[in-house]
Chains A and B, each alone.
Chain A
Amino acid sequence: AQSVTQLDSQVPVFEEAPVELRCNYSSSVSVYLFWYVQYPNQGLQLLLKYLSGSTLVKGINGFEAEFNKSQTSFHLRKPSVHISDTAEYFCAGQAAGNKLTFGGGTRVLVKP
């Protein structure tokens, strides 16, 4: 069975500093990976997705993620965060034809 693990439940970071959110997946078949963001009292919004091809994926709002098959990771990065990036971030994986499986989420708190 496929599972997705987010290694950090909370990440405090200062404004304009870089941030990295860690995500590891397990799967015995080809997997497709996603990062979603959830702002307070809102639904989930897709940041980026990896289906195939280049392992470096660029998304909205300056975020990017790198697919690393050997380490079964899909970490999310942003070189300089803003106060408005305060939100909860979810990594999700999907094996071919199967449902999306979400990680437990990482809460990012950007401090001024």
Chain B
Amino acid sequence: EAGVAQSPRYKIIEKRQSVAFWCNPISGHATLYWYQQILGQGPKLLIQFQNNGVVDDSQLPKDRFSAERLKGVDSTLKIQPAKLEDSAVYLCASSLGSSWRTDTQYFGPGTRLTVL
């Protein structure tokens, strides 16, 4: 079974530039998550999709971050414009459903973003 795919693996940009990350979840997984992991910290949930609808985006900085999952499969996360404090690893995860009791989240390898 193929895992969660993410690209690019690494990205270096200058502040105020734009950047986009792509995630392809495990086939058949309805729920997709984007996390931000700042160096030395645990992952923090940015947004959760159930199919192509947003379930939770309470911690997404909506003035500069946006995410979409148009067909309920792949997802993109965009930052525009980037700030120095956005330097982090962006993790995508997926799960079969949205049951917090039984559905394990499977994580991709992440995209490491460096903002100069």
Contact = CB atoms under 8 A, between A and B. Distances in A.
B43 interface: yes
Interface residues of B, number: 22
A51 B102 CA distance: 9
B41 A104 contact: yes
A43 B18 CA distance: 24
A99 B105 CA distance: 12
A9 B42 CA distance: 11
Contacts of B100: 32, 94, 96-98
A90 B5 CA distance: 21
Interface string B47-70: 010000000100000000000000
7 contacts: A42-B109, A43-B4, A43-B93, A51-B102, A90-B42, A96-B100, A99-B48
Interface of B: 3-4, 40-45, 48, 56, 91, 93, 100-102, 104-110
